[in-house]
Amino acid sequence: MGLKHVLVLPYPAQGHVNPLMHLSQKLVQHGCKVTFVNTEFNHKRVVNAMNGKVSLDGSKVELVSVPDGLGPEEDRNDHAGLILSMERTMPSDLERLIRDINSMDGGSNGITSIICDTYMAWGLEVAQKLGIKGAIIIPSSAAILALEDNIPKLIEDGIMDSDGLPIKKGKFQLTPNMPNVNIADMPWSCFEDDFSKKTIYHYLAKTIKWSHLSDWWLSNTTQELEPGALSLCPKILPIGPIKESPEFRSLGQFWREDHSCLTWLDQQPPCSVIYVAFGSSTMFDTNQFKELALGLELTNRPFLWVVRDEDSNNSNGNTNHHKYPDEFQCTKGKIVKWAPQQMVLKHPAIACFISHCGWNSTMDGVSNGVPFLCWPYFADQVIDKTYICEVWKVGLGFDEDERGIISRWEIKKKVVELLGDEDIKGRSKKMKDMVMNNIAKDGNSTHNFNKFMKWLSE
Ligand code: UDP
């Protein structure tokens, strides 16, 4: 049997491209060739961050692209506009791409299967049309997918209307083992206007319909982390934690990683550094940014802070420049524009992680035994915070003051409280061992992944 050739299709955002790239690396280690399809816009960013390369020496991951259908000036931060455009134009472009690849070399090296991001699950229709296998992978928690798979029940129970808009107020639990969800925090509710909310809600409902075209729902989670969601939605196959493979590093990053922070970490005492990073799209207002800077200073501890200087998905050239307060000396801190996060969190100098709780960051922290200070911004991050603080109990949240701001004193207070809490530190270490056992030779996620590989190779 020839080499399996898998096409991998991420949603065009950093928190989707990274885990799908790490999965691609795993597929390559298991003997597959991977064609990784970014949108043209993101392809340029990735290639730029890799100094112009479209594959690394010896790698069997090839980067290709299709247009997202938006013009060069249109705002890719407008997710409603982006998904409408992608749904309109990308399926036929993807089909053409696959037909072209499959007609090369007499078809000997053709695409044999597609793995789509759940949010690009229309790719399964393309797979079906071309007679090739398809699977999906969810880059968020299994709880989110279980929630979306239960949309009809949420409508039936009068929690929301058929446009996804909340009817009731307060929290609900789909089953007793699932995290509490505030109705106002449904993943599509975080968008500002009703048009975006409805468009994204209806799109998500459609992605679930498409997802049911496949029996393979992969997830970057583990059995112990999400027993409730996995029993509610048994189709989800936990294969996490999906780790980056050092030999392929950077192949999915939108920004160049600054490795100088690793040398800096080498010079810090063990378990001393606060790592501060908010993923790829969180934006701060000026006052909050100032309080964060002064709060980090006030802790009197070394910190490593990621401050992006460019708005991630914005094609308008808008920048995310912040002015540091005059009093901010940064004598004990190091600031970088983008860090090699998985390597940073593995470093013995790291004491805790001030995080926006994106699912990938959550998995990065949990799988390295690093306790959290949670600062969620929107969408699924609020549910991830519930997991961290209320279910796994490996972190604390921040409280806002009367101005709606997390003050410098609150930041200092919570750092002191977290680092003095031996129970949280102990649970974080235990959780790391438990989670990492899943990808040991005889671990549950390894077993699941091997099952998937067997199906892929049949
Ligand atoms: N990340 C990174 N360097 C940074 C910050 C983040 O490599 O300085 C990576 C992180 O490991 C994760 C992704 O960027 O793979 C962020 O995804 P997440 O789901 O945490 O947040 P999002 O960007 O989707 O809000």
Nearest CA to ligand 1 atom 6: 279
Determine whether the shortest distance from the Cβ of 372 to ligand 1 is under 6 A: no
pLDDT band (50, 70, 90) for residue 314: very low
Q: What average pLDDT does the segment 311-338 reach?
A: 74
Residue 311 has pLDDT above 60, yes or no: no
Residue 345 has pLDDT above 90, yes or no: yes
Residue 245 has pLDDT above 60, yes or no: yes
Which structure tokens are listed for 92?
């036929």
pLDDT band (50, 70, 90) for residue 107: confident
Q: Which SS3 state, helix, strand or coil, does residue 242 take?
A: coil
| 444 within 8 A of 223, measured Cβ to Cβ | yes
pLDDT band (50, 70, 90) for residue 57: low
Residue 191 has pLDDT above 90, yes or no: no
Residue 457 has pLDDT above 80, yes or no: yes
Nearest CA to ligand 1 atom 13: 15
- The predicted pLDDT at position 106 comes to 79
State which ligand 1 atom lies nearest to the alpha carbon of 282: 25
- The predicted pLDDT at position 310 comes to 60
Order of strands, edge to edge, in the sheet holding 61-66? 61-66, 33-39, 5-9, 113-117, 133-138, 217-219, 236-238
Determine whether the shortest distance from the Cβ of 360 to ligand 1 is under 6 A: yes
Q: What is the crossing angle of helices 194-211 and 142-149, to 10°?
A: 90
| Residue with more model confidence, 246 or 363 | 363
State which ligand 1 atom lies nearest to the alpha carbon of 253: 7
12, 20, 237 from 83: Cα distances, Å = 10, 19, 26
Q: What is the rounded CA–CA span in Å between residue 65 and residue 350?
A: 37
State which ligand 1 atom lies nearest to the alpha carbon of 339: 8
Residue 35 has pLDDT above 90, yes or no: yes
Q: Which of 15-24, 57-66, 157-166, 449-458 has the lowest mean pLDDT?
A: 57-66
Q: What is the rounded CA–CA span in Å between residue 440 and residue 371?
A: 22
Classify domain 4-247+439-457 at the CATH class level: alpha beta
Paired residues of 9 in beta bridges: 116
- The predicted pLDDT at position 52 comes to 73
Residue 47 has pLDDT above 50, yes or no: yes
Residue among 9, 4, 12 at smallest CA distance from 124 = 9
Dihedral angle over CA of 22, 23, 28, 33, nearest 10: -110
Share the mean pLDDT of the chain: 93
Percentage of the residues of the chain whose pLDDT score is greater than 90: 83
State which ligand 1 atom lies nearest to the alpha carbon of 279: 23
Q: What average pLDDT does the segment 316-333 reach?
A: 77
Q: What average pLDDT does the segment 152-166 reach?
A: 93
Determine whether the shortest distance from the Cβ of 280 to ligand 1 is under 6 A: yes
Q: What average pLDDT does the segment 327-337 reach?
A: 94
Domain ranges of the chain: 4-247+439-457, 255-420
Determine whether the shortest distance from the Cβ of 339 to ligand 1 is under 6 A: yes
Tell how far the Cα of 437 is from the centroid of ligand 1, in angstroms.
23
Q: What is the rounded CA–CA span in Å between residue 276 and residue 373?
A: 9
- The predicted pLDDT at position 55 comes to 67
Nearest CA to ligand 1 atom 7: 341
Residue 76 has pLDDT above 90, yes or no: yes
Determine whether the shortest distance from the Cβ of 281 to ligand 1 is under 6 A: yes
- The predicted pLDDT at position 316 comes to 39
State which ligand 1 atom lies nearest to the alpha carbon of 16: 24
- The predicted pLDDT at position 315 comes to 41
Q: What average pLDDT does the segment 130-158 reach?
A: 96
Residue 216 has pLDDT above 80, yes or no: yes
The pTM score is 0.95
Determine whether the shortest distance from the Cβ of 428 to ligand 1 is under 6 A: no
Q: What average pLDDT does the segment 372-399 reach?
A: 95
Residues whose CB falls within 8 Å of the CB of residue 239, separated by 6 or more in sequence, listed in order: 23, 218, 219, 220, 445, 448, 449, 452
- The predicted pLDDT at position 58 comes to 67
Q: What average pLDDT does the segment 139-153 reach?
A: 95
Q: What average pLDDT does the segment 226-236 reach?
A: 96
pLDDT band (50, 70, 90) for residue 323: confident
CATH architecture of 255-420: 3-Layer(aba) Sandwich (3.40)
Tell how far the Cα of 399 is from the centroid of ligand 1, in angstroms.
24
Q: What is the crossing angle of helices 359-366 and 422-437, to 10°?
A: 100
Tell how far the Cα of 361 is from the centroid of ligand 1, in angstroms.
6
| Residue with more model confidence, 59 or 39 | 39
Residue 320 has pLDDT above 70, yes or no: no
| Residue with more model confidence, 367 or 318 | 367
